[in-house]
Structure 1
């Protein structure tokens, strides 16, 4: 159980995040997968039809893959990073 909480110290909910490919998302909250006990991020697109998705927090907070740096239009270090509208 402790493992699922170790990445949460600096993770914020109820805020916008930008994906390394440039699109914006809004994180509504966190949830626990009932079968695997894995911590999941519940988020929404801020474009198009504003769909909702879930993704493991480990994927949400991982670094941009080195072999995909050419696609990294934002220059971000992490897959999703907090975004403040200016």
Structure 2
């Protein structure tokens, strides 16, 4: 691990809607202990499936759905 890490990117903490319609709560950004990859720490707001992490680049990325480019997760508050 580097002695000084670069700052984490900005990402609003709060609720997000996945492009498929389900809602999630984002708690923090963190780093992978081995690779230093930035991860998003979150949980689904449905069911009881626990806590998850997803790579920041994937979380904030876009994808094409039915010919339309959409954000994977959209901030809703």
Q: What is the TM-score normalised by the length of structure 1?
A: 0.73
* Pairing 1:26–2:25 present: yes
Structure 2 unpaired stretches of 5+: none
For these two proteins, the number of residue pairs brought into alignment is: 72
Query: Which has the larger share of strand?
Result: 2
Match of 1:82 in 2: 75
Note the aligned Cα RMSD (angstroms).
2.0
Q: What is the TM-score normalised by the length of structure 2?
A: 0.80
Which aligned pairs between 1:4-83 and structure 2 lie closer than 5 A? 5=8, 8-9=9-10, 11-13=11-13, 15-64=14-63, 66=64, 69-70=65-66, 77-83=70-76
Query: Which has the larger share of helix?
Result: 1
Task: Indicate the SS of the match to 1:77.
Answer: strand
Structure 1 unpaired stretches of 5+: none
